[in-house]
A and B are shown apart, each in its own frame.
Chain A
Amino acid sequence: MEQDKYKIIGKPEKRVDVLGKVTGKAKFADDYNVKHQLYGKVLRAKYPHARILKIDTSKAKNLPGVEAVLTADDIPGSKVFGIVVQNQSILAFDKVRYLGDGLAIVAAKTKEIAEEALELIEVEYEVLPVVTDPEEAIMPDAPKIHGDNNIFVHHKVRKGDIEKGFQEADYIIERKFKTQFIEHSYLEPEAILAEPAEHGGVRIIGSVQNLFSSRRSVAAALNLPLNKVQIIQSTLGGSFGGKDEVMTAMCCRAALLAIKTGKPVKMVNTREESMLESYKRHPYTMYYKWGIKSDGSITAMEIKIYADGGAYASMSPYVTWRSVVQATGPYYCENVKTDVITVYTNNNYTGAMRGFGSPQVNFAIESMIDIIAEKVGKDPLEIRLQNGFEKGAITATGQKLEHNVSLKEVLLKAAKEIDFQNKWREYKSQSDAPIKRGIGIACSYRGVSLGAEGTDAAGTIVSVQTDGSVIVSSGITDMGQGAQTQMCQIAAEVLGITMDRIVFLNTNTSRVPDSGPTVASRGTIMGGYAAKRAAETVRSTLMSVASEMTGYDVEVLDLKDNYLIDKDSGERLASFSELAAQCFKKGRPMFGFGWYKSPPTSWHEENGYGNAYFTFVYGTNIAEVEVDTETGKVNVINFVSAHDLGRAINKQTVLGQFYGGVAMGLGYGLLEEFEIEDGIPKQLNFDEYLLPTAKDIPNIKAIIVENEDAAGPFGAKSIGEPTNEIAAPAIINAIYNATGKRIYELPANLERVLLGHKLTRKGERGSVQKEKEELIIESCKIK
């Protein structure tokens, strides 16, 4: 049996961090307190776009209980940070560019005093015109956010001859799609505790996702070497890509206050502060123009996308790069021209969020493929099987797919599970009734890890103690997805021990190597591979000691179930603990360090092609819905999610990723929208920002497909983001199957489903105004 190949890999081992989480002992950032700590608070912008003429902090400084009031002038080093473009202010000094910008920070004896001090800070502004629509922001006379051009990224993909492709087409189909801002909605708001370190520098513990990038920015802001900025990750209450730059800003601010006051400083955002300041998923406006033959094959794809980057560059260059690579979907097409243009506006800045530029394009692609299926009289499964990639396919970026391309396998397995084609036909011709049923499918291919975005390597440490217990630590972090558990399972498998022997140390920038950010679904493949190598190093030492101890050849020895055994007879020769003690006695190293650097990738930015990712994963989602045609309410009643992830290291955490990913995708498709009007956010807490509840999520049938990939540990690839990127288009296609009305703008809330457009509240509560009609290019040019 395949399952017996491994003792620990694939098994639903319990999470290594679970006990504290069910007893209330797990310490999240806001649970850390020390004596004499001060409370830090941030003064945020009054206008979404304004020049700062003067900041007067004198009154605030004189308030009893206030220990420091600081502005950008008090930052000794770099006043700005940014992973690609260094233009995000730690504290605004020239202009405020969105409503979440911080201008001044206060440290005081109590939160109340800190808040009162904020009110005493006087700021003089020169209010500037606001631009919030990316397509308006590119006009010559638009207000400029940074420098003299609001366009800061233009990624391209070029393949074949687009004109020739359209000439060959029997039909040309053009559509416009729009997506919304959405909020990560990690349940734990941002929090940290920063303390001056004993020998200079600063020690920070907090809810930070990407410790090493935050550390780099704190060091630059404070003019400190990296070894004097220690950042420790507290148990992280969700992140989904969201606790990066917003945490970097908080780290810099609290560190600054801690150094200036010489005291520990605690900073915690309220939910309102969190939603106001934090970055969001990019809204995209997408123009898709496809040329197709009457048999359903695709001759040309011309795609133009405007992404709203908001006030700062953040991760936009990377997020939109993934979009440009994946914008055509997993479909054969010889002639492709894709442009993704990212623009500054006075909206919340946009950055990394689970999916990272794919949920937007997948909504457009998977809507388009259904539209062309109908045009040529095929069903949604047929058209995908006809056009979908197989092994050896050449992608839009000219990359030949050499791994196991399992797109059709996941499509067929998902379709079979729910009897997709029959249901689709039945619902298509259902009779008129208030409640209509529909079923929709969506699939995707997704590049694994960072790809040609940048350096992709990670390190993990496995340290065996003298009693045979083990400590694992890594530069890859856990935010609830289970990365710690995966790495421990891999170490346990290699060392032949049980999971109860292993403890995972929270990531600390001073104790583990810089492993880049824990993003791009790279935790298991990168941190896990490094864990495997680290454990193998220790194992080889242990085995040579075992051979000396027993007189047996290494080849006949094995480690299994916490014992050293004779491979042939299965006889237990010594316990793992005895072996560890012996190893220590002989003065041999019981410490393994593993490093994994990903296989090579390439990208030609100017000409728009390259081997973007070293491998890909494939997935299919199918949604079955009931649409109330009298209210516009959509209920998802059944859901199938099939993903090839290489290998499931832990089936239970993998299922958790399937379910959680679909739930987040359902919110994206039906409920969630962070609205910003004239630079002013409309939803700042969960009373108005609607998250899916237990009542909104259907039962989800998860299909785990495992085609091992040589690039990952035990064949494992990725699962965190793939599960989140195709739920929305599956639901949108199901709504079309039910109603015959296509949704071109997310989310498909009641008004969009019922009326075909959004209702906007303006001014007085209750007054309703119809939004400007969206331009939907419906013309199908028939040659």
Chain B
Amino acid sequence: MKKVNEIMNKVKIKTTINNRSYKLDVLPNQTLLNFLREELGLTGTKCGCEIGECGACTVLINGEAVNSCLVLVPQINGKEVLTVEGLSDGEQLHPLQKSFIEHGAVHCGFCTPGLLMTAKSLLDENPDPTEEEIRNAIAGNLCRCTGYIQVVEAVKNAAGEY
């Protein structure tokens, strides 16, 4: 019996990842998470559960925060993807990155890329969120180290910089 990957035709897509355009032949059954990490070497996006529960793999697709473990690569055709590697402007850190550093919101750092992307999507939409809105926004990002308090403070403070 042939393997799925052997009989499956690759799909041609055009996409923008971290402000760079790509023309790609991709496997239709590959997750975006796996594609970013294994094919593009963008390992900043983390794999924690692969079922869309932990949020460590959060990236932005057209500005919206999504779990990249639940997205198949062809779904990014014609869309813009932003990962943690594309968050800073060269050496210049994004206000959220600075704020996470200043407020001690980073402990082990494994959930940090996902939290940063979720927070960016929130602040792009709502530059002055209440604490409750911040907590609602990041409720899908699990963090075992921080107890979320310094994360909420960091997002609140970064909002002031927007």
Cβ A686 vs Cβ B54 within 8 A: yes
Measured between beta carbons, the chain A residues less than 8 angstroms from B50 are: 270-271
Q: Which residue of B lies closest to A695 (CB)?
A: B139
Question: Which residues of A644-677 have CB atoms within 8 Å of chain B's CB atoms?
Answer: 652-653, 655-656, 658-664
Question: Which residues of A11-40 have CB atoms within 8 Å of chain B's CB atoms?
Answer: 12, 14-15, 17-28, 30-31
Judge whether A418 is part of the interface by a CB distance below 8 angstroms. no
Cβ B88 vs Cβ A663 within 8 A: no
Q: In the complex, A458→B155 CA distance in Å? A: 38
Interface residues on A, range: 35 or more
Interface residues on B, range: 35 or more
Using known A-B contacts A691-B144, A697-B147, determine if residue A188 contacts B43 with beta carbons closer than 8 Å: no
Cβ B109 vs Cβ A694 within 8 A: no
Partner of A22, one of B46, B97, B108, B149: B97
Cβ B54 vs Cβ A655 within 8 A: no
Judge whether B71 is part of the interface by a CB distance below 8 angstroms. no
Partner of B56, one of A15, A187, A482, A694: A187
Q: Which residue of B lies closest to A691 (CB)?
A: B142
Using known A-B contacts A12-B104, A18-B106, A188-B48, determine if residue A23 contacts B87 with beta carbons closer than 8 Å: yes
Contact with B along A108-146 (1 / 0, CB 8 A): 000010000000000000000000000000000000000
Question: Which residues of B29-52 have CB atoms within 8 Å of chain A's CB atoms?
Answer: 37, 42-51
Cβ B101 vs Cβ A237 within 8 A: no
Judge whether B68 is part of the interface by a CB distance below 8 angstroms. no
Cβ B51 vs Cβ A185 within 8 A: no
Partner of B144, one of A21, A662, A664: A664
Cβ B53 vs Cβ A694 within 8 A: no
Cβ B149 vs Cβ A659 within 8 A: yes
Cβ B44 vs Cβ A23 within 8 A: yes
Cβ B147 vs Cβ A700 within 8 A: yes
Least CB distance, A720 to chain B, in whole angstroms: 11
Judge whether B10 is part of the interface by a CB distance below 8 angstroms. no
Using known A-B contacts A188-B110, A700-B149, determine if residue A30 contacts B144 with beta carbons closer than 8 Å: no
Cβ B48 vs Cβ A660 within 8 A: no
Cβ B142 vs Cβ A686 within 8 A: yes
Using known A-B contacts A686-B49, A695-B139, determine if residue A22 contacts B145 with beta carbons closer than 8 Å: no
Cβ B85 vs Cβ A22 within 8 A: no
Judge whether A516 is part of the interface by a CB distance below 8 angstroms. no
Judge whether B58 is part of the interface by a CB distance below 8 angstroms. no
Measured between beta carbons, the chain B residues less than 8 angstroms from A482 are: 107
Measured between beta carbons, the chain B residues less than 8 angstroms from A19 are: 101
Contact with A along B108-122 (1 / 0, CB 8 A): 111111001000000
Partner of B104, one of A235, A479, A655, A664: A655
Cβ B47 vs Cβ A30 within 8 A: yes
Q: Which residue of B lies closest to A702 (CB)?
A: B149
Q: In the complex, A19→B5 CA distance in Å? A: 38
Using known A-B contacts A23-B44, A31-B43, A270-B50, determine if residue A656 contacts B109 with beta carbons closer than 8 Å: no
Q: Which residue of A lies closest to B83 (CB)?
A: A24
Judge whether A236 is part of the interface by a CB distance below 8 angstroms. yes
Q: Which residue of A lies closest to B5 (CB)?
A: A112
The 4 A-B residue pairs with the shortest CB-CB distance in the complex, in nearest-first order: A24-B44, A480-B108, A21-B109, A237-B110
Q: Which residues of A does B touch, CB under 8 Å?
A: 12, 14-15, 17-28, 30-31, 112, 184-189, 235-240, 270-271, 479-482, 652-653, 655-656, 658-664, 685-687, 691-695, 697, 699-700
